[in-house]
Amino acid sequence: MNLKGILRRMMYHDRADVYRLRQVQAADGSDDYAEEETPVYEKLPCKLSQYGKDLTTNKTERAVSVFVDLRLCCDPAFDIRANDRVVVLRQGKRMEFVAGISFPYPTHQEIALRRRGEVGNGG
């Protein structure tokens, strides 16, 4: 078995759905275009992991924005682009991210993911 097969069997226990915004012509056939989110991949075998980055926060008068940066590893054959929406199912928990830069290697690719949430300031 080659290294890609070993990675698929030993590491890729999570699953991801990937969505991308695409321009679509208006339903009436006019020259107007709108952005529509369309599925690119469903149940893509992957591994979600941490890589030593700290939690980032940004405080305003109304809320605290919390940013979590994680890494998604998967087969390099999958075309995951910056700004794609990635929904990962890991150990029964569903998490939603925005994809960043992809770093392809011969055996796998690593994609930076960012999750953003807000916590209210008690008001």
Question: Which domains does the chain carry?
Answer: 3-25+32-120 (2.40.10.270)
Share of the chain above pLDDT 90, in %: 52
User: Which regions of the chain does DSSP assign to beta strands (E)?
Assistant: 14-25, 33-49, 56-59, 63-74, 85-90, 93-104, 109-120
The structure tokens listed for 31 are: 């020259």
pLDDT band for position 55 (cuts 50, 70, 90): low
pTM for the model stands at 0.77
